């Protein structure tokens, strides 16, 4: 019987192990500490713009993260709601204690999955790096397996830095993984040091919340998962505070004491989540910086300051925190810190996230140079899916850039690589009009069927929803609007002249028709408000208006995509000696050798590769096939 081992119990590991087991593959999740499965070492939240899209896509394919945050979330908000369906993203504050507990409980009760505590020290092959045998543990035992998904997070040669102090650790209170890191380096994999960080945690009772700006959650809270009936946890507000001139003075005067600016950090940090030191140095003209004050759990009194990541010494951190309004007598329970760790160049990965030259090995998460729970989870799910499919002799699941943000992320990593911790942004997706997070279940339905992790009831729910949407669109196209029709008074009140009749679909395309007017018209259609699992009338109205109003733009994108898909179907043989092709410039050849694209479409997305170069490569491939 084939067997998969997943190394690491973070968000990538959870998804990899969960999906492999749901697909019916015997799986073992190996982690250093069973009590830390699903730990949120940084900000205790899930989602956001771009990130929330990926969580919905995970959920549509049978992933765990959406269900876990719905079960344990204590503050839900839809971000960018006023900017339109395509770019709005769900976000939720987690009760990190309950999230961790729920994640472990979900895995413990999953058929085909076993949990094992231990530290992986080496991957073992029968010969060289071919024919994987298993994973060797620190205690000398070995877990036999046919495929391994490495989701090591920040543990590979991890070092925590606070001021001038440097401690070997994967995160606060847990050891680094040095043996496995050294083996991967010795195998010749290109690696680099990356850096991330976390903020200080404070005692709730030491904060004067009356001086802070309250940030309530949505009422009612809207679930992440397409399959969650409700949100069970009590909801609490978050708060906002801003740095002051005194904060900036304290940071600037103590920059040499920071690990980052004191020369103690080698790794590159995340561009889109900078430390407070970076904010004051790189944005000197910005008068103040926003800090989110977020509860970590209903079961503890710890408060997280999102936006105040730092590696300053603890005494400086305390002075800095106390310079904020409402924090004059604040007490730090856990100081913030920076952490450096090994990551490996994702250009060494195939599109299924398997590692070039290492038989039976997949990488997922921060080991690939990404940052964030959601990015890690997305890679974990796809790595788990493809490890199982590989063992079964099935073709890999590779999502296109037009199919999912998950597809955008993987394509970016394996085609372009990354020199800094990669974070998902909606701006990275060229075709985001077709990637609205609320449509992920229908958009990925065919892929979900192929993966086979969703149960019959979940699939039936999505199929019924898609069918109902199609029926609704057809009825709107067929309904005729005139002055004397039931829709006439609604249109006239909205300022629309009805000199000639038009379809209800055409009426909805008019910008005069806002949500209230659309609801009034839809209420006239029989069965519109009929209850159905997963059917939210206000969400479906927004999606309908979005679909009708942006159809011309999507049609234009579809024509462009047809051309791109043609190149994505042209595979470049893995044994092709690119350096022997004639007529290609040295610069293009060097990029092709480094990136080793698997298709012409992938080659076309490599920075610096021109359309003319891809056309020439296509011609040369055609000639080589004809010989």
404 and 298 within one domain:
no
Residue 210 sits in the same domain as residue 311: yes
Do 214 and 152 sit in the same domain of this protein? Answer: no
pTM of the entire predicted model: 0.91
Model confidence at 180: pLDDT above 80: yes
Which range marks the domain in which residue 310 is found? 201-337
Q: Is the pLDDT of residue 601 over 90?
A: no
| pLDDT value, residue 625 | 59
**For position 257, what pLDDT does the model report?**
94
Residue 564 falls inside a structural domain: no
Look at 241-255, 260-274, 280-294 and tell me which has the smallest mean pLDDT.
260-274
Q: What is the pLDDT of residue 387?
A: 98
Residue 463 lies in a domain: no
- 334-355 pLDDT tens trace: 999 999 999 999 999 999 999 9
Q: What is the pLDDT of residues 290-318, one digit of tens each?
A: 999 999 999 999 999 999 999 999 999 99
Tokens of 285: 């003209």
Mean pLDDT of 524-549: 88
Task: Establish if 462 belongs to a structural domain.
Answer: no
Residue-level pLDDT at 188: 95
Q: Which of 284, 318, 337 is the last residue of a domain?
A: 337
171 or 623: whose pLDDT is higher?
Answer: 171
Name the residue with tokens 């209170």: 173
Nearest CA-CA partner of 74 in 302, 234, 253: 234
pLDDT digits (tens, 9 = 90+) for 64-123: 999 999 999 999 999 998 888 888 899 999 999 999 999 999 999 999 999 999 999 999
Last residue of a domain, one of 451, 484, 514: 451
In a shared domain, residues 214 and 296: yes
Q: What is the CATH number of the domain that holds 619?
A: 1.10.150.570
Q: Across 99-103, 265-269, 399-403, 500-504, which has the greatest mean pLDDT?
A: 99-103
On whether residue 456 sits in a domain, the answer given is no
294 shares its domain with 364: no
Same structural domain, 524 and 612: no
Counting residues of the chain whose pLDDT is more than 90, the rounded percentage is: 75
Residues 229 and 308 in one domain: yes
Say yes or no: 387 and 482 in one domain: no
What's residue 570's pLDDT? 82
Instruction: Tell me the per-residue pLDDT of 138-157, one tens digit each, with 9 for 90 and over.
Output: 999 999 999 999 999 999 99
Tens of pLDDT, residue by residue over 32-63, are 999 999 999 999 999 999 999 999 999 999 99
Three-class SS of residue 502? strand
283 burial level (CB within 10 Å; 0-12, 13-18, 19+): exposed
The model's pLDDT over 547-584, given as tens digits with 9 standing for 90+, comes to 999 988 887 877 777 766 777 778 888 777 777 777 77
CATH code for the domain in which residue 513 is found: 1.10.10
Q: Please determine, for residue 469, whether its predicted confidence score (pLDDT) is greater than 70.
A: yes
Q: Which residues fall within 8 angstroms of residue 331, CB to CB, at 6 or more apart?
A: 202, 203, 206
pLDDT mean over 232-240: 97
Domain count, the chain: 4
Of the pLDDT bands very low, low, confident and very high (cuts 50, 70, 90), residue 624 is low
Q: Are residues 19 and 164 in the same domain?
A: yes
Cα–Cα distance between 603 and 530 in angstroms, integer? 49
Kindly state the tokens that stand for 216.
């309530």
Q: d(Cα 497, Cα 131) in Å, to the nearest integer?
A: 72
119 and 98 within one domain = yes
The yes-or-no verdict on residue 626 having pLDDT over 60 is: no
Strands (E), 447-589: 480-481, 502-503
Instruction: Tell me the average pLDDT of the chain.
Output: 92
pLDDT one-digit tens code per residue, 415-429: 999 989 999 998 888
User: Which candidate, 11, 1, 617, 2, places its Cα nearest to that of 372?
Assistant: 11
Q: Is 240 within a domain?
A: yes
CATH code of the domain covering residue 277: 2.40.30.260
| HSE of 329, CA atoms in CB hemisphere, 13 A | 4
Q: Give the integer Cα–Cα distance in Å for 404 and 427.
A: 13
* Mean pLDDT, residues 530-546 taken together: 89
Residue 306: burial class (beta carbons within 10 Å; 0-12, 13-18, 19+)? buried
303 DSSP 8-state letter: E
- Whether 467 maps to a domain, the answer reads no
Residues 229 and 312 in one domain: yes
Contact 591, 609 (CB under 8 A): yes
Q: What is the pLDDT of residues 453-466, one digit of tens each?
A: 999 999 999 999 99
Q: Confirm whether 122 is domain-assigned.
A: yes
CB burial class (10 A; 0-12, 13-18, 19+) of residue 160? buried
> Does the residue 468 lie in any domain?
no
Cα gap 245→104, rounded to integer Å: 44
**Does 543 share its domain with 620?**
no
**Which of these three, 290, 308, 337, is where a domain ends?**
337
CATH (domain of 173) = 3.50.50.60
Q: Which of 148-152, 315-319, 538-542, 588-592 has the lowest mean pLDDT?
A: 588-592
Q: State the pLDDT at residue 51.
A: 96
Judged by average pLDDT, the poorest of 146-160, 241-255, 426-440, 600-614 is: 600-614
Whether the predicted pLDDT of 618 surpasses 60:
yes
Question: Residue 597 — very low, low, confident or very high, per pLDDT cuts 50/70/90?
Answer: confident
Residue 143 is encoded by which pair of tokens?
Answer: 């877990």
């Amino acid at each position: 019987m084939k067997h998969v081992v997943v190394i690491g119990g973070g968000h990538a590991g959870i998804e990899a192990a969960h999906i492999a087991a749901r697909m019916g593959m015997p799986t073992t999740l190996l982690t250093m500490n069973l009590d830390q499965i699903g730990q949120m070492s940084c900000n205790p939240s899930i989602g956001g713009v771009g990130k929330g899209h990926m969580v919905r896509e995970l959920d549509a394919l049978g992933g765990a993260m959406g269900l876990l945050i719905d079960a344990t979330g204590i503050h839900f908000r839809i971000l960018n709601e006023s900017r339109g369906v395509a770019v709005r993203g769900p976000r939720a504050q987690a009760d990190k204690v309950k999230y961790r507990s729920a994640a472990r409980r979900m895995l413990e009760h999953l058929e085909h999955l076993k949990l094992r505590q231990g530290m992986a020290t080496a991957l073992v092959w029968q010969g060289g790096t071919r024919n994987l045998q298993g994973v060797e543990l620190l205690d000398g035992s070995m877990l036999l397996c046919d495929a391994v998904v490495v989701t090591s997070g920040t543990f590979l040669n991890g070092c925590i830095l606070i001021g001038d102090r440097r401690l070997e650790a994967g995160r606060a209170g847990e050891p680094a993984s040095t043996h496995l890191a050294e083996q991967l380096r010795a195998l010749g994999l290109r690696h680099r040091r990356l850096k991330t960080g976390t903020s200080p945690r404070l005692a709730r009772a030491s904060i004067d919340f009356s001086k802070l700006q309250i940030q309530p959650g949505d009422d009612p809270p809207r679930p992440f998962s397409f399959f969650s009936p409700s949100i069970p946890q009590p909801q609490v507000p978050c708060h906002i505070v801003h740095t002051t001139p005194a904060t900036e003075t304290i940071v600037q005067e103590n920059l040499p004491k920071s690990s980052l600016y004191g020369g103690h950090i080698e790794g590159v940090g995340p561009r889109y989540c900078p430390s407070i030191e970076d904010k004051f140095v790189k944005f000197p003209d910005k008068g103040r910086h926003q800090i989110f004050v977020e509860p970590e759990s209903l079961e503890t009194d710890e408060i997280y300051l999102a936006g105040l990541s730092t590696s300053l010494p603890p005494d400086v951190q305390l002075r800095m925190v106390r310079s904020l309004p409402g924090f004059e007598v604040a007490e730090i329970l856990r100081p913030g810190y920076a952490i450096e760790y090994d990551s490996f160049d994702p250009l060494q990965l195939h599109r299924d996230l398997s590692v070039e030259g290492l038989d039976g090995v997949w990488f997922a998460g921060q080991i690939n140079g990404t940052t964030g729970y959601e990015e890690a989870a997305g890679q974990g799910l796809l790595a788990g899916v493809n490890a199982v499919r590989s063992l079964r002799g099935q073709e890999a699941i590779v999502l296109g850039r037009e199919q999912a943000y998950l597809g955008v992320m993987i394509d970016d990593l394996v085609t372009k690589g990354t020199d800094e911790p990669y974070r998902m942004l909606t701006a990275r997706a060229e075709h985001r009009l077709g990637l609205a997070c609320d449509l992920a279940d229908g958009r990925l339905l065919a892929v979900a069927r192929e993966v086979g992790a969703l149960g019959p009831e979940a699939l039936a729910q999505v199929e019924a929803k898609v069918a109902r949407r199609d029926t609704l669109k057809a009825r709107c196209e067929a309904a005729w609007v005139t002055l004397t029709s039931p829709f006439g008074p609604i249109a006239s009140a909205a300022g629309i002249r009805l000199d000639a009749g038009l379809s209800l679909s055409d009426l909805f395309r008019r910008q005069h028709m806002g949500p209230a007017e659309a609801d009034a018209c839809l209420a006239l259609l029989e069965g519109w408000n009929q209850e159905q699992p997963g059917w939210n009338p206000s969400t479906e109205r927004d999606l309908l208006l979005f679909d009708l109003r942006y159809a011309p733009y999507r049609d234009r994108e579809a024509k462009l995509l047809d051309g791109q898909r043609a190149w994505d179907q042209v595979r470049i043989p893995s044994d092709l000696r690119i350096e022997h092709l004639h007529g290609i410039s040295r610069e293009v050849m060097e990029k092709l050798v480094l990136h080793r694209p698997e298709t012409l479409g992938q080659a076309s997305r490599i920075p610096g590769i021109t359309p003319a170069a891809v056309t020439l490569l296509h011609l040369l491939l055609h000639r080589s096939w004809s010989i």
